[in-house]
A and B are shown apart, each in its own frame.
Chain A
Amino acid sequence: MNGLSRGILFRYAWRGLWQRRACLLYVLFLPVVAWLLPRLTPWEENPPVLAPARVQAVCFYLWGGLLAFFPFQAAVLGRRLHTEGLLEHWRAGGRKPWRLALELAAAVWLWVVAATSAGMLICALFCAPAQPVEAGLWRLLVIQQGGLLLLVSGPLILLAGAVGAAVSELAGTLVAASLVALGLFGIDWLQPLLAPGARGGPLSWLWVALPHYDLADLTSRFLFKLGPLPGAVFAGSAVALGLQGLALVLVSLCLFRAKS
């Protein structure tokens, strides 16, 4: 024992995030959003849309968090640890930079897990269809959505934290937010230009390298009750997003700077 707790950066960062309450409020606000936002619409004209609208509100809230809130938290945390001199302090103590980076990201990612779990619980318990077979398929879709969200969020948080520590809070937030925006919305615009079949060669490779977070957004399947993704499609999406996430993790670890 060297007097320092295990997972020291994780514990320290998590304690700070808990003390600030911002992440806690984000999670606690999720049920409010799921209940309130659908009721701001003229839902009385067609009451059955209330449940899908709740799902849409939850998904919107979670993706919104992944677009801005969580990357910002990670980037601010990374920058703060850098300016406080703690990254250097722990680095001098022999801790590996990759471990510091992963602990930093884990402290924020835990809140993503909490928010995603809360969101998926709301979807599964309060928005599921009444018919038992449909409800079973609905729950499977909920699990798929939660899994894909968690899969893409980890590397994004790590990237934001790494860039935040190395450059600035703003840079960390913007880099991660840009990737999410590109992966969710930009990909549809770029598909006609870059997708395999449209053009060959390097453009196709660029298409492969672009973030495909649209694969992880199953909101439309909830809204139109399309059921869960077929096993092969889900596995393909998970592998593609996992490989992209792995690449993002490697880039993040290269960018992370524990020393000034």
Chain B
Amino acid sequence: MRSALRWGPGAVLLSVPLVVALAGPWLAGEPDPRGVPYGSGALLGTDFVGRDVGEQVLLGGRTVVVVALAATVLAYLAGTPLGVLTAMTGRRWLDELLMRPLDLLLAIPSLLLLILLAAVAPSGALTLIVIVAVVNVPEVARISRAAALEIAARPAMEAMRLQGESRWRRAAGYVGRSMLRTLLADLGVRVVGALYLVATASFLGVGVPPDASDWAVMVDRNRTGMFLQPWAVLVPALLVVTLSVGLNLLFDGVRRHREEAA
């Protein structure tokens, strides 16, 4: 009962934007012919080019959610092996060679890095996924390295080495599995951070087409008509807010539940 109270409110809050984002594109149906910009014909009016806002809302959540999740997964796929490798290699130069550049990368403000990288690459969802992943790799690698170092120092590792288990089996089989807990605890922060970056970048027009059906792009593009048609801005903005707040509350509830159980 108490545990349900811990993560219940977050889950309820999160379910609204998540259902709209994931099921929306199926519910949206065929696009209507465009009406007048900032008109009040449809349920939520029309947007800056006369599209139905309600339909755009249904279409616009999927990219935000999918890009953020894919970027997080990619950051782990790249950062974790890097962290484990540097922690388990006996060679100090390799450790330094791989980790020092990442330290330097951490000194660059993430949005600055994102804007610069996005200016180089062609715009599109795939680009945004890769860039947000790149921005997150140094932190993931650092956390993985710290966790792997601690695990590699355990007596069990020494025992496996004496039994003649290969380095690869030790790294993937034991260290990798033992790290899962630490990485899962960090997962919430990563997803929420990726969501923040993806939404902010889209809002600034970085890496997305200017008329994309995307909640963040909608907020930016429809701002000029906010006096005439506030829903075109408010509905997507509130969906981004509930998505972020719900995710945070949910992850925090799960974290505290695990801590209490442990």
- Chain B binds chain A: no
A-binding residues in B (CB < 8 A): none
B-binding residues in A (CB < 8 A): none
